[in-house]
Structure 1
Amino acid sequence: MYQLYYYPLNASMAPHFILEALGVEYDLIKVDRKSNQQKSSEYLALNPAGRIPTLIDNGTAIFESPAICIHLAENHPDVNLIPPLGDSNRPVFFQWMMYLTNTVQAELMVYFYPEKHTLDAQQTAQIVEAQESRITDMLALLDNELKHKNYLIGQSVTACDFFLFMLCVWVDEFKKPPLAFNNLGRFLKNLAQHSAIKTVCEKEGLSLLDYQ
């Protein structure tokens, strides 16, 4: 049985979506960020980066959210959350997964933690403003990609779609939030009907009223 160390609405959300979509048995273990439990010696023994999430699979600890998502998808090829070897959509899958994590999520970390990216505390507000503009441009790129498409890759949901949903949840208070984009908003409202999304959002305390 899988074990997912998580915190609500954190980077563990995408792996949580995928575990539900796979229909497998798993245990959720909450890591209390408010008390910095992710920096405890017990947690660091599993995840030396001291970040959430961590997945335990048959005694092996795996960290980094996209790595967990890909691992789970490949462990259950029958659910088709990742294109198989030889499929023309497989490199496209990795392209978008890398874009979402190495570009969008990386820029979001600067947005959410500006104080870690300057030695001048007076600059944090400007960093946040600049990052919101940069990330909004990335949302526009994704919006254009989703024109005439229901999913990022192929004709069915993949791990990339769950990852994108998670990132969009994080920025729903932007001046131009993801739901304000025509194609991206349609994509999110459609994906919000997925049973895995509904179940996880209920467990993690996120209302989906805006996505109806």
Structure 2
Amino acid sequence: MYQLYYYPLNASMAPHFILEELKVDFELITVDRKSNAQKSSDYLALNPAGRIPTLIDNDLTIFESPAICVHLAENNPSSNLIPKIGDKNRSIAFQWLMYLTNTVQAELMVYFYPQKHTKDDKNIKSIVQAQELIITEAFELLDRELEGKDYLVGQSITVCDYFLFMLAVWADELQHPPLSFANLSRYLRGLAQREAVINVCKKENLSLRDYQ
């Protein structure tokens, strides 16, 4: 049985989607961010980065959300959540997963935690404003890519789609949230109808009303 150390609406959400999609046995173990439990000695023994999530798969411990998603998909190949070796879409899937992680998620982190990127609080407002523009450009790119498509890669759902849905949830407070883009909105509303998304959002106490 898999064990996912998680906290609602955190970076553990994407692996949570994957676990639900796979319909495998798994246990959710809450890491209470409110009490900074991710920095406790017990948790650091599992994940020296002190971040959420962590996955336990028998004698293997993995941290970093995209790495966990890839591990789950690769170890359940019949799911096709990552295209198989030899399929040209495999490289495209990794391209988009890296873009979502290294660009979209990274820029969102600066937006949410601007104080970590300056020593002068006077700069915080301008950092947030700049990040709004950068993140909006990223979603514009994704919106163009999704024109006429139900999925980011190929003709079936992949880890990229679940990762993007997680980021879209995080970005819903922006001036131009993902649902304000025509193609992204259609795409996200489609994903929101999937059983895995419905189950995870119920467990993590997230309303899908805006996606209906």
Tell me whether the two structures share a fold, i.e. TM-score over 0.5: yes
Alpha-carbon offset, residue 124 of structure 1? 0.8
Alpha-carbon offset, residue 59 of structure 1? 2.2
- Inter-partner Cα distance in structure 1 for 2:211 and 2:105: 22
**Alignment partner of 1:10: what SS?**
coil
The aligned residue for residue 190 of structure 1 is 190
Instruction: Provide the aligned length of Structure 1 versus Structure 2.
Output: 212
The aligned residue for residue 100 of structure 1 is 100
Alpha-carbon offset, residue 60 of structure 1? 1.4
The aligned residue for residue 148 of structure 1 is 148
Residue deviations 1:103-156, cap 9 Å, x none? 110111111111110011111111111101100110000000000111000001
Question: Counterparts in 2 of 1:31-180, with a 5 A limit?
Answer: 31-180=31-180
- Inter-partner Cα distance in structure 1 for 2:108 and 2:210: 22
**Alignment partner of 1:45: what SS?**
helix
The root-mean-square deviation of aligned C-alpha atoms, in Å, is 0.5
Alpha-carbon offset, residue 209 of structure 1? 0.5
**Alignment partner of 2:95: what SS?**
helix
Residue deviations 1:32-74, cap 9 Å, x none? 0000000000000000000000000112110000000000000
Residue deviations 1:157-191, cap 9 Å, x none? 00000000000000111111101100000000000
Instruction: Read off the aligned partner of 2:141 and give its amino acid letter.
Output: L
Instruction: Read off the aligned partner of 1:197 and give its amino acid letter.
Output: V
- Inter-partner Cα distance in structure 2 for 1:182 and 1:97: 22
- Inter-partner Cα distance in structure 1 for 2:193 and 2:156: 14
- Inter-partner Cα distance in structure 1 for 2:132 and 2:72: 31
Q: Extract unaligned runs of 5+ from structure 2.
A: none
Alpha-carbon offset, residue 81 of structure 1? 0.4
TM value normalised by structure 2: 0.99
Q: Extract unaligned runs of 5+ from structure 1.
A: none
- Inter-partner Cα distance in structure 2 for 1:172 and 1:197: 16
Instruction: Read off the aligned partner of 1:38 and give its amino acid letter.
Output: Q
TM value normalised by structure 1: 0.99
User: Hey, which bits of structure 1, 4+ residues long, moved more than 3 A?
Assistant: none
- Inter-partner Cα distance in structure 2 for 1:97 and 1:160: 5
**Alignment partner of 2:38: what SS?**
helix
- Inter-partner Cα distance in structure 2 for 1:171 and 1:160: 16
**Alignment partner of 2:46: what SS?**
coil
- Inter-partner Cα distance in structure 2 for 1:48 and 1:122: 33
